[in-house]
């Protein structure tokens, strides 16, 4: 594989790309080769919560389920934060039990996510996807053991160049999330920002992938 897409909602089935496709418990597509699965805070439904968690627990035991997620906290939605925290906590404990990394959706809730990791003593890798904040937030996440993934906002916001450059080489990933651009375009921009050639970037992400997912890209 030449490229790894940490987080996407669209399976493109390219031979050169390993895509970690986001799946939801009630809309699971068994044809997708590699995926993450979780309860997004936007889509918490208390009526089916236990069923969703059972599906997630079942899928976490499958080898082509590479991660739990996306899941997390979002202070800009109407779903009560206390409910979001309960659902997030239950998913983190599943990830810890089955030793799967966690892809995290975090909006205006970084302190709460950091605190929950500490309180629950989570040791599996936790990856903040779609990062769009400043160097200070990034540094606090890195200092607390998180990985950071860049994609949509890296393409859209030139101010993120210096933030991206500040991330240690062994702690970042790239993604497309919901944008139309392909992962290759994200790689091209990331290589430019790092002042690396494409091979150096690909080798670094392969190394990061091996460290987090305990397998080779």
Known binding positions for a divalent metal cation: 70, 105, 129, 177
Number of domains in the chain: 1
∠ CA 125-52-73, rounded to 5°: 50
Known binding positions: 70, 105, 129, 177
pTM score: 0.97
Pick the closest to residue 6 from 110, 100, 103 (CA basis).
103
- Render pLDDT for 61-119 as a digit per residue (tens, 0 to 9): 999 999 999 999 999 999 999 999 999 999 999 999 999 999 999 999 999 999 999 99
Average pLDDT, the chain: 97
> What is the domain extent for residue 69?
3-213
Q: How many helices (H) and strands (E) does the chain have?
A: 8, 8
Identify the CATH number of the domain in which residue 144 sits: 3.20.20.140
Whether the pLDDT of residue 50 is over 90: the answer is yes
């Amino acid at each position: 594989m030449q490229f790894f897409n940490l987080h996407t909602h669209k399976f493109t089935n390219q031979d050169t790309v390993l895509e970690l496709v986001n799946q939801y418990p009630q809309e699971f597509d068994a044809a997708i080769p590699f995926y993450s699965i979780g309860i997004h805070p936007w889509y918490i439904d208390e009526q089916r919560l236990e069923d969703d968690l059972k599906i997630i627990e079942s899928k976490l035991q499958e080898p082509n389920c590479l991660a739990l997620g996306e899941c997390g906290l979002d202070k800009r939605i109407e779903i009560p934060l206390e409910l979001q925290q309960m659902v997030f906590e239950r998913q983190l404990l599943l990830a810890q039990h089955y030793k799967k990394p966690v892809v995290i959706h975090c909006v205006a809730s970084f302190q709460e996510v950091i605190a929950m990791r500490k309180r629950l003593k989570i040791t599996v890798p936790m990856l903040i996807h779609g990062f769009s904040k400043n160097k200070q937030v990034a540094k606090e996440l890195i200092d607390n053991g998180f990985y950071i993934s860049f994609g949509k906002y890296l393409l859209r916001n030139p101010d993120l160049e210096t933030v991206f450059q500040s991330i240690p080489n062994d702690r970042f990933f790239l993604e497309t999330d919901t944008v139309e651009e392909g992962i290759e375009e994200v790689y091209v921009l990331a290589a430019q920002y790092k002042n690396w050639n494409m091979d150096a970037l690909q080798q670094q992400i392969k190394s990061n992938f091996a460290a987090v997912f305990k397998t080779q890209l």
